[in-house]
């Protein structure tokens, strides 16, 4: 019953959190992206061979068919089943991910790097949401006349380092990304990854945090 109620993205996130090693996480990420591409193409062919072939064509570290079908590959099969169920005729379409644009990055190395950055950002947002309910010294942003102040939780060293890395020119250059003249994040072809003001927003957050 839960198999019909749980979306592929929810299944994927649970399996990623349960994964015990980085290799399994990379394989799950690769299978999830391959299945998502098939779903977007309205394909009903979620055979292991098709998923593996598509993944390899996109430069993804998909596991071999043996790894999927053997006794330790149940997590891979569960994820594939979730996508297959979501793609059956008459099923309600899965809501498009906010990071769907990542699928259209042609360079496989850059694409996988951005997937990892997006995943780290999601984890950071989830942690911030949890911390917002805890006691602590909140940071009030805004507060000018007619505006509603918002509260930002105090970030720890790891979270601050993650934000700094998100706009660090050297770190971004290693994955083929850079900051544009208006603070937007762009790839090697000049395509916008994040809108103008991305860098400025992070710099403001970091500036406020340092004052604590």
Per-position DSSP letters for 62-81, written without gaps between them: PPPHHHHHSTT-HHHHHHHH
* H or E element, residue 152: strand 150-152
CB under 8 Å, gap of 24 or more: what pairs does 66-75 form? 67/27, 75/15, 75/18, 75/19, 75/24, 75/28
Is residue 177 helix, strand or coil?
A: strand
Domains of the chain, by residue range, sit at 2-86, 100-210
Is residue 106 helix, strand or coil?
A: coil
Q: How many of the other CB atoms lie within 10 Å of CB of 206? A: 14
> What are the backbone angles phi and psi of residue 93, rounded to the nearest 5°?
-60, 140
Q: Is the model's pLDDT at 149 over the cut of 50?
A: no
Say how far apart CA 48 and CA 7 lie, in whole Å. 20
Chain segment 11-62, per-residue pLDDT in tens = 999 999 998 888 999 999 999 999 999 988 888 889 999 999 999 998 999 9
Q: How far is CA 18 from the centre of its chain?
A: 16
Chain segment 194-209, per-residue pLDDT in tens = 888 888 888 888 787 6
pTM above 0.75, yes or no: no
């Amino acid at each position: 019953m839960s198999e019909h109620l749980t979306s592929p993205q929810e299944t994927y996130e649970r399996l990623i959190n349960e994964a015990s090693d980085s290799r399994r996480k990379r394989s799950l990420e690769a299978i999830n992206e391959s299945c998502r591409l098939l779903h977007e193409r309205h394909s009903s062919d979620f055979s292991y061979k098709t998923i593996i072939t598509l993944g390899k064509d996109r430069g993804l570290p998909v596991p071999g068919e043996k790894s999927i079908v053997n006794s330790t590959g149940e997590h891979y099969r569960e994820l594939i089943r979730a996508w297959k169920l979501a793609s059956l005729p008459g099923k309600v379409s899965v809501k498009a991910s906010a990071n769907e644009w990542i699928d259209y990055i042609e360079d496989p190395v850059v694409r996988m790097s951005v997937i990892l950055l997006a995943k780290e950002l999601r984890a950071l947002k989830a942690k911030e949401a949890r911390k917002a309910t805890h006691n602590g010294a909140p940071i009030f942003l805004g507060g000018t006349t007619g505006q509603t102040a918002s509260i930002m939780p105090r970030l720890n060293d790891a979270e601050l380092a993650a934000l700094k890395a998100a706009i660090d020119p050297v770190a971004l250059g290693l994955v083929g990304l850079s900051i544009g003249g208006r603070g937007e994040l762009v790839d090697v072809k000049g395509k916008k990854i994040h809108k103008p003001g991305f860098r400025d927003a992070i710099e403001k957050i970091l500036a406020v945090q340092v004052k604590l």
